[in-house]
């Protein structure tokens, strides 16, 4: 497995004279980049007054930049500029029974339970696979890349293996290749290639150039056919590795990520903003000076000065200046 791309985080406020306009992003986006929840949920927390920026209660539409301080749920963060050389992209072999959501109200396992942990960012799923569909799921830390890969205008290929119940007539294959009308608009298979055909079931390799909800299954269902097994084996130029086991992931190397960005029509990744926690968040203790009557000394509680004063107190009387 290739190690994730190293990321350069900067807490410095950007100087306009040196680097152009200061990078600012909406607060809910920056919170989401840090993996603190979905943008919709975080907007609700902002509306509830649960987020503060530089000691002021944030509102919807608040923007932040590097160096700003953010507080949420009694935790303090500082906004950092993330200038990664390239986005991180992960290939995950999804098994049956997992959903592609961070928190499932029904308590079902999610793909995010098995992904490598990130610091200062989060994995974004490129499209979705339904509960019973297996195979290749791409995830990235770059929201712009995820958006470009999923956008209908990009029209990237998605390749699947399908097991279809019953005998599949040639006329049905012709109609699926020519295009039919679904409830949400026209749809078609870009390519249909038989792998094996029989009376009880048949295997096909199919290619789509869009990713509408359950589109592969609904296309077959339009012909009165039921898909009993469905597995995605390719997304754009990324193929599911043969040795990648179900429930496991593999990081794309830098060259593969660059090629994927080029296919999606993107250039070099742009800096974005995330959050870094403020460590050792403890309230400062009030200093108290106590004087003992038996010997001259000073002691400051809760201060580094106490260690220095204690060292002076241990000096023997015969070594003191007279």
Strands (E), 112-200: 124-125, 134-140, 158-165, 180-182, 185-187, 191-196
- Of these residues, 130, 142, 170, 304, which one is catalytic? 130
Does 170 participate in catalysis according to the annotation? Answer: no
What is the C-alpha to C-alpha distance for residues 233 and 56, in angstroms, rounded to an integer? 49
Half-sphere exposure of 239 (CA within 13 A, CB side): 4
Q: Which two tokens stand for residue 299?
A: 């002691």
Q: Which two tokens stand for residue 321?
A: 């200046």
The size of the chain, in residues, is: 322
List the helix and strand counts (H, then E) for the chain.
8, 19
Residue 139: partners with Cβ closer than 8 Å, 6 or more residues away: 89, 90, 92, 111, 115, 123, 124, 125, 126, 249
Picking from 53, 28, 79, 59, the residue whose alpha carbon sits closest to that of residue 271 is 79
What is the C-alpha to C-alpha distance for residues 122 and 33, in angstroms, rounded to an integer? 6
What is the C-alpha to C-alpha distance for residues 90 and 128, in angstroms, rounded to an integer? 14
DSSP H or E stretch at residue 133: none
Please say whether the beta carbons of 168 and 202 come within 8 A: yes
Residues acting as catalytic residues: 130
């Amino acid at each position: 497995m290739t190690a994730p791309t190293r990321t350069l985080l900067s807490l410095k406020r950007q100087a306009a004279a040196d680097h152009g306009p200061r990078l600012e992003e909406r607060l809910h986006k920056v919170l989401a980049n840090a993996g603190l929840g979905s943008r919709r949920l975080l907007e609700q927390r902002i509306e509830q007054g649960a987020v503060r920026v530089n000691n002021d209660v944030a509102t919807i539409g608040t923007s932040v930049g590097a160096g700003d301080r953010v507080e949420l749920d009694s935790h303090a963060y500082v906004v950092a500029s993330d200038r990664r050389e390239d986005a991180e992209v992960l290939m995950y072999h999804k098994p049956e029974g997992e959903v592609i959501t961070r928190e499932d109200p029904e308590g079902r396992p999610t793909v995010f339970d098995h992904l490598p942990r990130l610091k200062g960012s989060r994995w974004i799923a490129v499209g979705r696979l339904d509960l019973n569909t297996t195979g290749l799921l791409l995830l990235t830390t770059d929201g712009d890349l995820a958006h470009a890969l999923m956008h209908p205008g990009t029209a990237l290929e998605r390749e699947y293996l399908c097991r279809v119940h019953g005998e599949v007539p040639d006329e049905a294959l012709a109609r699926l290749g020519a295009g039919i009308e679904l409830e949400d608009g026209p749809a078609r298979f870009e390519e249909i290639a038989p792998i094996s055909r029989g009376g009880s079931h048949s295997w096909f390799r199919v290619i789509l150039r869009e990713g509408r909800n359950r589109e592969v299954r609904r296309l077959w269902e339009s012909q009165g056919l039921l898909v009993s097994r469905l597995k995605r084996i390719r997304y754009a130029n990324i193929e599911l590795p043969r040795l990648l086991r179900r429930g496991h992931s593999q990081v794309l190397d830098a060259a593969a990520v660059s090629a994927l960005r080029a296919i999606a029509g993107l250039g070099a990744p742009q800096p974005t903003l995330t959050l870094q926690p403020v460590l050792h968040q403890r309230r400062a203790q009030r200093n108290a000076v106590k004087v003992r009557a038996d010997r001259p000394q000073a002691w400051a509680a809760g201060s580094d000065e106490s260690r220095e004063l204690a060292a002076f107190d241990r000096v023997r009387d015969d070594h003191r200046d007279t």
